[in-house]
Amino acid sequence: MDRISVMKPWLGTAESDAVAEVIASGWVAQGPRTAAFEQAFAAHQQVGHAVAASNCTTALHLALKVAGVQAGDDVVLPSFSFIATANAPTYLGARPVFADVEETTGNVSAQTIEAALTPKTTAIIAVDQGGMPLDLEPLRRLCDERGLALVEDAACGAGSTYRGAPVGVGADVSAWSFHPRKLLTTGEGGMLTTNNEQWAQRARRLREHAMDVSAADRHGSTLAPQESYGEIGYNFRMTDMQAAVGLVQLSKLEQMVVRRRELAARYQQELAGVPGLRFVQDPEYGTSNYQSFWIEVSRPFPLDREGLLAKLAEDGISARRGIMASHLQPAYAGHSGYTVALPVTERLTANTLILPLYHDLREEEQDRVISSVLSASALTTAGA
């Protein structure tokens, strides 16, 4: 019996051909393919500017920097997220302050953010957790009233929509991931998007050592202009090999979303009504790309989350624990930005798991996952 993975990227010969072409061209570092990928991504996401980065963590770091976050500031964000969300402000000497999330979506709301605001807060990071679109409008109002920068960690969000538009457009600046655990992948890779032209220009310089002439422009000219460095920058560049893969992947994104939504609908239908199981669903204001299809396990389901993970593993199915809680990690032990109680975060992180879902998952394989969950529910109840 083959093992079923939790996630597999959907890559093919179009991607390998695109990389081979870049290698044959002799230009492998950030250059024309990266510029083309940025343009295509901005157009797809209906946003003014896209700036490629080495990954989403570096894109978030740049996003906070161009949004004006400084050492000593507080940035309110969910603990219920991959730890990079909390680390990004930490890199700038700012303090991540943890907010709780809503149980239906796993996302922060205007209420949970407001409860955690401090006098030193200058920005918030809202996450489209697992691809679930966040409810942006109330957060937008809150940030506008208080003069806070609204940063969206849309790492998992490519292909999700909010009120009919792609997620990410309503924030001041958004960050995206192209890690293979997300839908669209470039191996490693990220993107920053914004409608603020000055922020985009600064991010473009900062990711390239804050050089005022890009490496691509310098190498493209015979007599290279003298460059200067106006501030301390970073090397957060993407390569043209990654961008070439990204362009192909972007052209396949809508198909990926359609397939994932079909598979999510099958899980929702087949697992509906199982006592003690709750699963992620579209909110009324948007559509999820189902980057993570999570279920919450609680009584009267006969097994707890760890028990169900073990049962799935016995049946050759590789599920995963749900989203982590950063405030429970040793890296944030004793952290002073843990100021409000986070009961929903702690419950969800303890009781949720992520079921296999990827483009090439066959229905027979998904049926194996469903039967494993259903048999865990039925057999043990009968024995109890």
**Can you give the binding site for ligand PLP, defined by CB under 6 A?**
55-57, 81-82, 84-85, 127, 153, 155-156, 177, 179, 190
Looking only at the bridges linking them, the beta strands covering 74-78 and 95-99 are: parallel
Q: Where are the alpha helices (DSSP H) in the chain?
A: 13-25, 32-45, 56-66, 84-91, 110-116, 136-146, 197-206, 215-220, 240-271, 305-314, 343-351, 363-383
Residue given tokens 């409860």 in the structure block: 115
Taking the least distance from each CB to ligand PLP, the nearer of 106 and 302 is 106
Specify the long-range contacts of residues 210-213, CB closer than 8 Å, at least 24 apart: 210/234
Residue given tokens 């906070």 in the structure block: 64
- Catalytically annotated residue among 65, 182, 252, 311: 182
CB of 86 to ligand PLP, least distance (A): 9
Taking the least distance from each CB to ligand PLP, the nearer of 190 and 302 is 190
Phi then psi for residue 273, to 5 deg, are 85, 0
Polymer length in residues for the chain:
384
Taking the least distance from each CB to ligand PLP, the nearer of 188 and 365 is 188
Looking only at the bridges linking them, the beta strands covering 149-153 and 121-127 are: parallel
CB of 70 to ligand PLP, least distance (A): 22
8 is catalytic: no
CB of 172 to ligand PLP, least distance (A): 17
Taking the least distance from each CB to ligand PLP, the nearer of 107 and 377 is 107
Taking the least distance from each CB to ligand PLP, the nearer of 57 and 242 is 57
CB of 382 to ligand PLP, least distance (A): 38
Task: Locate 121 and state its tokens.
Answer: 């807060």
Task: Locate 133 and state its tokens.
Answer: 């679109």
Helix (H) or strand (E) holding 294: strand 293-297
CB of 349 to ligand PLP, least distance (A): 14
Please report, for residues 96, 103, 130, 212, 303, the alpha-carbon distance to residue 278 in angstroms, rounded to integers and kept in the order given. 30, 11, 15, 52, 14
Write out the catalytic residue numbers: 182
